Structure 1
Amino acid sequence: MKKIIIIVLINILALLVGLFVVNKKFWQDEVQTTVVAGIIPGISFPDISNPLPSIPLPSLPTNPEDLMNIALDNIIDKKHKPTSDPFIFLIFWLTLGYNLQPSDKYTVVNSSKTLYTSSGNSIWESLLNPLATPHYLWYQSTDKENWKRMYSETDKYLTVTPNKVGTVYYKQATIWYWQVPANFTDIVYSKVASVTTLPKYRDADKLTVTADGDYLYNNQENDSTIFVKGLPSPSDATGNITWSVDDSSLATVDKKTGQVIANKNGKSGIVRITGELSNTAKSSVKGSIDIKVGGGLDDMTVHEGDTAKFDIRGHFDQKPTSVVWHKILPNGQDKVVSDDDTMSYTTPKTSYNDNLDKYFAVMTITNGTKNKQIKTNLANLSVLKNDRPDVSIKGTIFNDKGSHNDTGEILWNVSSGDILTFKLNMSYSNPNGALTNGLIGLRVPKTMQPEAITLDNKNISGLDFSQVPNPDNSEEKIFVINNIDLANSAGEHSLEIKGRVGEMGKILSYKSMFMFQCNNAYTGSPFEVDSNPLVWYLGHDMITLKAYEWKYQNIDETTKGKLVKRQKNDSEVLHVDDNRINKASTTLSLYQYNPFNLNNDITLSAETRYYKKDGSFVPIGGKNGVVVEETTEGVPLKSIFWSLDEGPLLYVLPRELTLGSYTTLFTWQLSQSIPNTNLSVTKNS
């Protein structure tokens, strides 16, 4: 009896001391009684001034381990739902939970399988209860409804060896306490995992590897860790997975659990984790995944004039309370550049003076009055001197006789002997581009002759100018200005080329274009850019007409006294190219000197009428023509189109008709205020 009394009192004293250390607010008489009564049923505190032998005690276990199990069973709810996933801020647990849940396993009779778990308490609870340690309880069920505690299993991992085919379910509870548990102790509950025993081994064909994240920190006091997981195919493969790492100086991996832990030496790089699943009847299968190890920020390299963006790497279940970005200047000065609590920072446009600047971020998480901070590594900013060419060119064209558009990109009425002025304006805004060995080319007709060339008002001649055939067009050549060197200059440059137009034959238009080519003095890489096209239309001081025939619909007895239209034709009936330099007022007329006849013998009993858009008509015949189009001075004559209700239509007279195909000739006549050009064309109908 005295032994039991001493054991009880020792446990009670341990509990009270633990409670006092953990949280002083529980050191109250009435709370003491409630807590202890909740752990050891049937015991209450009497007046401790009474002699010990007079205390009435129930029958209790004498083994301290049994007493602890009674306490734990009274606290833990074996049917409790799984605890939510923890919030982990890189290396800090903000809430308690499991970061590795037990997973389903498949095996055969008498072949052991191990369920692996990993759980953690929050940093805030660890600060309040620094002496508390985790204790593990395992539960077993065959139906996921009725659970039995496995009293002999108190390790973090559970190994089972099934003795028959079937499925058994397991789950774990983890409780943190010092010496003895209490009702208010932190507890987490895992998800349910199954161990299924199959009649025979099943091999895997494939292994897919996943990870909780893709980045680990190498510069923190606490371990930066994640778990890798293997997903076999088929999913009920019975083999075991063994994990390995290709570079243990970057990170290590637990060969059984798949826990990856980064180095703390600041070594950065990419580490490959490989899982190998064993098979029985064939070779093992492997899968791997890459994980980056670093200090939180990556070094950045940008060209001068670009911005640089630094992103904080890693997985965050919860955003930090604050994020402050710092910049370390080459002279060592620390400057806060942003405190807007963002996980990335974008610099202003850089200049070469920003080269070798360093950046880092400080993240803070807060709970009440307690703070935790994580500082990233120093990330280097490298700014490359901007030696990229920044050249824009624009061409214009002018004729000494005028007649160009507002932008100077189109000319009209160009003829042989005209002197055209081609101008190229070059904008070069980066003196560091160092463009050397450059040339400017101008594509022109092979009959054009150069008159004068100037670059920035300086004459170009001799070896700096040449004419070469265009290898892509035998009717063209290229004016080439050589030895363009912009290595030490920036701003605006102007090139002017005057050329005399030669014989152009029947060409009606031509397109010229400037081409600028050079080499980058630093890289040696070529650079080229083309200008806008320069179009010039040639005026041959003539007007050309091309007529097309038309046909009428059939004529028979039913069409007597009616109007017969032409057959449908959406094309032009007269094509006009008006290339006159001086466009005088012009009149275009249509004549039918002879009636429709059959074999030059029988005349068709019909009258030709020319219908206008307003529905009025004018008879055509003999010397009576009709004006089709008129233009004023300076206006070009356009091609002629007719709708079915317009133009020359046939009115069939109510007379005898002779079957056959009738034809006639229509004559287009052109007249203008200066000596006119006439063109006659036949029309079959």
Structure 2
Amino acid sequence: MKHLRCLITIFSLLLGSAGALMTESITPIQADSSYPTNGTPSGPPFQFLGGYLVGGFSQQPADINTISDQSYSLTVNGNRGFFDPLFLNNITWYEYGDNHKWTQVNQTNLLPATLTTSTHVTQVTTRYYQAALNYSGFLSSKTFWSQTAKVTISPQAVSATDISVDAASDTLPNGNSINMQAILTPSNATDKVTWSIDNSSIASIDANVGTLTANSDTKKYGPVKVTATTANGLSASKQMYVGALQDTVVPEGQTATFSVKGFPTGSSIIDWHQVTPDGTDTIATNQPNISAGTGTNQLKNGILTIKNTTYAQNDYRYYADIQLPDGSQKATTNSATLEVIKGQDLSLDAVPNFVFRKSDQTPLSISDIAKGTTLTASKTVDVKNQTGNYDGNDRNALFVYDPRPASSGWRLSASMSPFTNSQTGQIFGGHGGLATLTMIDTTGQAVGQLVDNQTNTLIKSNSKPNLTADADLSPSTLTLQPTSLVTPGQYDATIYWTLANVPNP
């Protein structure tokens, strides 16, 4: 029987009054490939080591919902590629109106380029806008066309009833940008949308238009949760990944894969590299049991497969050299780590150190507690083995490893202590039982529930041999019942996990 403890930090409770920032009611909405175009939109640019190997629009114009006679703005930014003509000539804006024709409405020679205008309507009306970016040289010129942006104009304000978040890709190589898309219901809702992320150390986001930019340092990569929040309080999130490669965790003996994502269509892998902990760099595909195959978007050799992993490969790192579509430029991905979990016996190899916060990342207040609220988990490094007394991880990972071919199964249970103010020692609500942790995996399936009253709860029971269970519990929530017995400070609780080598009590 194995017993693990982990720390669960719930919130830092602050006293204070709420404030509001007044902004214009302009809402970025999802782009649509069916929009009319004045010129064929160019492919996305690609940046590497501070320079653009492929030119184009690094910031696209975002779709907007707005109100009659209210000013609205569209902004683009762009960069020339390594082999593009040297001089910026102009940026021209075009509008597609009720006459179903494209008309030039603005021209400038400065980047970023912003078009600001307004329209009077008596019924819901649409306008489309597209920008052309022209570079010229002594003997040549090159024009990039932006995506088409749709502006929906309503006679009066329309409140959103639902929101979701999407993006053209869930992976963003270091140094590059992507437009996040807020999809509102109804489609002409005019509520202002504000954007935020949970990990500013690896990416940044424009709070107004949702342009997500990955850190250019290839050592900074990993998941980042992007959240869109409407002015009337609706919110939704999407998990994005900074870096073309992500870390992989597998039990010893299992197959591990690394997949390159986010590079332009038509790219191909030249070589995969393997780097040992002592820094020895070799071609990975020259090693036994390692091969490369077609990856996402038909990327040649875009997936690296490592069969029959051994614990000796733990902490090996892998990266890829890539040929870009024009055939003249090369780039290198970030390097990602292979973590091999060693285990000959039944083992509980990972339990999460949860941190819960409000979905909009604002401080939790006394008034929130008085009404009752639900908090969401966030990935963070500030509780990882904070005191040396906890065995949890900061990736919200749960992992049970059972390599035994003739086992009778196993049983995983857990209990949670009451939440206690780490400064005052006060128990949340005066006694346990007012906080419910709902553990949810990334498929949306509920793994189990714990109440902060030390009740032991069965999480999973397995009666089959040689069965490994793993889950990413990042979508988990914590529901706090209304109470007035709470004081400012940080509230912590401890989850006690017990893994027994029998399937039944």
Q: Please, what TM-score do these two structures have when normalized by structure 1?
A: 0.39
Question: What amino acid does structure 2 have at the position aligned with 1:296?
Answer: L
Q: Deviations over 1:449-482 (max 9, x none)?
A: xxxxxxxxxxxxxxxxxxxxxxxxxxxxxxxxxx
SS of corresponding position for 1:271: strand
Q: Deviations over 1:160-208 (max 9, x none)?
A: 1224436463433323336xx8894211334554444332211111121
Q: 2:265 aligns with which of 309, 318, 334?
A: 318
- Matches for 1:321-332 after TM superposition, within 5 Å: 321-332=268-279
CA distance in 2, matches of 1:141, 1:321: 38
Q: Partner of 1:357 in structure 2?
A: 316
Q: 2:114 aligns with which of 157, 164, 176?
A: 157
Aligned identity (percent) is 24
Compared CA separation, residues 319 and 201, structure 1 to 2 (3 A): same
Q: Partner of 2:188 in structure 1?
A: 236
1:187 aligns with 2:143: yes
Contact 1:276 1:287 in 2 (8 A): yes
Q: Report the CA distance between 1:434 and its aligned residue.
A: 13
Q: 1:271 aligns with which of 199, 208, 224?
A: 224
Compared CA separation, residues 147 and 526, structure 1 to 2 (3 A): closer
Q: Report the CA distance between 1:88 and its aligned residue.
A: 5.3
Contact 1:210 1:229 in 2 (8 A): yes
Q: Deviations over 1:61-112 (max 9, x none)?
A: xxxxxxxxxxxxxxxxxx9733244055675877655566545433333312
CA distance in 1, matches of 2:499, 2:130: 67
Contact 1:268 1:294 in 2 (8 A): yes
Q: Partner of 1:202 in structure 2?
A: 158
Higher relative contact order (CA 8 A, sep 6+): 2
Q: Deviations over 1:605-652 (max 9, x none)?
A: xxxxxxxxxxxxxxxxxxxxxxxxxxxxxxxxxxxxxxxxxxxxxxxx
1:367 aligns with 2:326: yes
Q: Partner of 2:305 in structure 1?
A: 346
Q: 2:67 aligns with which of 101, 108, 112?
A: 108
CA distance in 2, matches of 1:164, 1:354: 65
Compared CA separation, residues 338 and 248, structure 1 to 2 (3 A): same
CA distance in 2, matches of 1:260, 1:356: 29
SS of corresponding position for 2:83: helix
The runs of 5 or more residues in structure 1 that have no matched partner are 1-78, 390-431, 437-516, 518-522, 529-685
The structure whose Rg is larger is: 1
CA distance in 2, matches of 1:346, 1:192: 39
1:384 aligns with 2:333: no
Q: Report the CA distance between 1:378 and its aligned residue.
A: 4.4
CA distance in 1, matches of 2:500, 2:114: 62
Question: What amino acid does structure 2 have at the position aligned with 1:379?
Answer: T
SS of corresponding position for 2:199: coil
Q: 1:285 aligns with which of 203, 217, 234?
A: 234
CA distance in 2, matches of 1:268, 1:121: 26
Contact 2:80 2:135 in 1 (8 A): no
Q: Report the CA distance between 1:213 and its aligned residue.
A: 1.9
- Matches for 1:398-417 after TM superposition, within 5 Å: none
Compared CA separation, residues 313 and 149, structure 1 to 2 (3 A): same
Compared CA separation, residues 276 and 116, structure 1 to 2 (3 A): farther
CA distance in 2, matches of 1:347, 1:172: 46
Q: 1:337 aligns with which of 284, 301, 306?
A: 284
SS of corresponding position for 1:136: strand
Q: Report the CA distance between 1:259 and its aligned residue.
A: 0.9
Question: What amino acid does structure 1 have at the position aligned with 2:40?
Answer: T
Question: What amino acid does structure 1 have at the position aligned with 2:329?
Answer: N
SS of corresponding position for 2:335: coil
Question: What amino acid does structure 2 have at the position aligned with 1:292?
Answer: Y
Compared CA separation, residues 165 and 233, structure 1 to 2 (3 A): same
CA distance in 1, matches of 2:151, 2:325: 41
Q: If each structure's helix is expressed as a fraction of its own residues, which one has the higher value?
A: 1
CA distance in 2, matches of 1:344, 1:357: 16
CA distance in 1, matches of 2:199, 2:275: 32
SS of corresponding position for 1:338: helix
Q: If each structure's strand is expressed as a fraction of its own residues, which one has the higher value?
A: 2
Q: Partner of 2:255 in structure 1?
A: 308
Aligned length: 306
Question: What amino acid does structure 1 have at the position aligned with 2:338?
Answer: N
Question: What amino acid does structure 2 have at the position aligned with 1:187?
Answer: T
Contact 1:206 1:233 in 2 (8 A): yes
1:172 aligns with 2:119: no
Q: Partner of 2:501 in structure 1?
A: 526
Q: Partner of 1:533 in structure 2?
A: none
Compared CA separation, residues 353 and 135, structure 1 to 2 (3 A): same
Compared CA separation, residues 112 and 302, structure 1 to 2 (3 A): same
SS of corresponding position for 1:255: coil
Q: Report the CA distance between 1:244 and its aligned residue.
A: 1.9
Compared CA separation, residues 358 and 149, structure 1 to 2 (3 A): closer
CA distance in 1, matches of 2:225, 2:164: 14
Contact 2:154 2:188 in 1 (8 A): no
CA distance in 2, matches of 1:109, 1:232: 19
Q: Partner of 2:358 in structure 1?
A: none
Compared CA separation, residues 365 and 351, structure 1 to 2 (3 A): same
Compared CA separation, residues 84 and 524, structure 1 to 2 (3 A): closer
Question: What amino acid does structure 2 have at the position aligned with 1:202?
Answer: V
CA distance in 2, matches of 1:232, 1:296: 31
Q: Deviations over 1:386-414 (max 9, x none)?
A: 3369xxxxxxxxxxxxxxxxxxxxxxxxx
Contact 1:140 1:150 in 2 (8 A): yes
Q: Report the CA distance between 1:385 and its aligned residue.
A: 4.1
Contact 2:44 2:58 in 1 (8 A): no
Question: What amino acid does structure 2 have at the position aligned with 1:291?
Answer: M
Contact 1:144 1:169 in 2 (8 A): no
SS of corresponding position for 2:183: strand
CA distance in 2, matches of 1:325, 1:524: 39
Q: 2:246 aligns with which of 297, 320, 324?
A: 297
Q: Report the CA distance between 1:235 and its aligned residue.
A: 0.5
SS of corresponding position for 1:124: coil
SS of corresponding position for 1:150: strand
Contact 2:94 2:130 in 1 (8 A): yes
Q: Report the CA distance between 1:291 and its aligned residue.
A: 1.4
Q: Report the CA distance between 1:228 and its aligned residue.
A: 0.4
Q: Report the CA distance between 1:252 and its aligned residue.
A: 0.8
- Matches for 1:636-647 after TM superposition, within 5 Å: none
Contact 2:92 2:107 in 1 (8 A): no
CA distance in 1, matches of 2:223, 2:89: 33
SS of corresponding position for 1:157: strand
Q: 2:38 aligns with which of 81, 95, 120?
A: 81
1:224 aligns with 2:173: no
CA distance in 2, matches of 1:326, 1:194: 44
Q: Report the CA distance between 1:124 and its aligned residue.
A: 3.3
Q: Partner of 1:257 in structure 2?
A: 209
Range moving further from structure 2, 340-349 or 149-158: 149-158
Q: Please, what TM-score do these two structures have when normalized by structure 2?
A: 0.51
SS of corresponding position for 2:329: strand
Compared CA separation, residues 164 and 288, structure 1 to 2 (3 A): same
Question: What amino acid does structure 2 have at the position aligned with 1:160?
Answer: T
Q: Partner of 2:8 in structure 1?
A: none
- Matches for 1:508-587 after TM superposition, within 5 Å: 525-526=500-501
Instruction: Report the aligned-residue RMSD.
Output: 3.9
Q: Partner of 1:612 in structure 2?
A: none
The runs of 5 or more residues in structure 2 that have no matched partner are 1-35, 287-291, 293-299, 348-402, 408-464, 466-497
